[in-house]
A = this chain, B = another copy of it.
Amino acid sequence: MQRSERLAEIVEIVRDGRLHLARDIAEALEVSVRTIYRDIDTLVANGVPIDGERGVGYLLREPVFLPPMSLSLVELEALSLGMAIVQEVADEELQSAASGVIAKVGEHASNRRNAPKSWGFGLYEFERAREGLSHMPLLRRAIREGLKLRIDYLSLDEQSSKRTIRPLQTDYWGKVWTLSAWCELRRGFRAFRIDRIQMCEPTGSSFQPEAGKTIEDYLRHVAEQMDREKDSS
């Protein structure tokens, strides 16, 4: 195996976010431990965020993927259009993440002869979508980590309520963002407009995916409902 291949392999191994010992990696790749130390050195020198702690092991600081990959010109356009839309449409966290992507990709894509971006877009349709998105980073974290949330919700007919929910998915509808969740108060799936969520905080307890209460169940439920509507019309 080539050295460069091995470096990629090491990243693959470490990328699962668990702790790894140089000894184990060495064994897996059939090289000596010393070589692994050297390899990790060069990886770190090349910007891969691996943390080594003496007496502990190696850990990847943040989830990365770093495949050298090639995008076609159209794919590049799709990418930058998408990031531009996200910048307009989503909350600040995602927005700056999108900037990050553009920066990382653009840096390398820029020195082409002619790569004028072929699009732009109007802003006013999006302004509404940006309102009241301050909860989104927390919502995303809750979805990722399975945290139950307590929310104060003001429904469209101005009814206020407090609920404990299991956040499943945020949805973008062109004008507004909603949160699909399992509502423990109503014992059913509910979609909440994010701009109508008055307050939102972790309850401290978390949840596991549970049959009948997962996002897949919800999507199936919605699909069935749409079918019924079609039948009756």
Residues of A within 8 A of B (CB): 4, 12, 15-18, 46-49, 62-79, 81-83, 85-86, 89-90, 93-95, 97-98, 100-101, 104-105, 107-109, 111-122, 125-126, 139-140, 143-145, 169-175, 178, 180, 215, 219
A to B CB contacts below 8 Å, 19 in the list = A46-B68, A64-B70, A64-B71, A65-B105, A66-B70, A67-B68, A74-B93, A75-B101, A78-B83, A78-B94, A78-B95, A78-B97, A78-B98, A79-B98, A85-B89, A118-B144, A120-B170, A174-B174, A174-B175
**Across the two chains, which residue of chain B brings its CB closest to A142?**
B118
Task: List the B side residues contacting A172 at CB < 8 Å.
Answer: 81, 85, 119-122
A79 to chain B, nearest CB (A): 6
**In the complex this chain forms, how many copies of it are found?**
2
> A72 is contacted by which of B63, B82, B175 (Cβ under 8 Å)?
B63
Task: List the B side residues contacting A81 at CB < 8 Å.
Answer: 82, 86, 90, 94, 172
Question: With A and B bound together, what is the CA distance between A178 and B172 in angstroms?
Answer: 22
> A122 is contacted by which of B62, B115, B116, B173 (Cβ under 8 Å)?
B173
> A71 is contacted by which of B16, B65, B125, B144 (Cβ under 8 Å)?
B65
A220 to chain B, nearest CB (A): 13
> A112 is contacted by which of B16, B85, B95, B180 (Cβ under 8 Å)?
B16
**Across the two chains, which residue of chain B brings its CB closest to A137?**
B74
A53 to chain B, nearest CB (A): 20
Question: With A and B bound together, what is the CA distance between A120 and B65 in angstroms?
Answer: 22
Question: With A and B bound together, what is the CA distance between A125 and B178 in angstroms?
Answer: 14
Are A140 and B118 touching (Cβ within 8 A)? yes
A122-B174, A170-B119, A174-B174 as given contacts; A74 in contact with B97, CB under 8 Å: yes
Task: List the B side residues contacting A180 at CB < 8 Å.
Answer: 120
A138 to chain B, nearest CB (A): 11
Question: With A and B bound together, what is the CA distance between A98 and B118 in angstroms?
Answer: 16
Task: List the B side residues contacting A71 at CB < 8 Å.
Answer: 64-65, 100-101, 104
> A76 is contacted by which of B63, B111, B219 (Cβ under 8 Å)?
B63
Question: With A and B bound together, what is the CA distance between A111 and B67 in angstroms?
Answer: 13
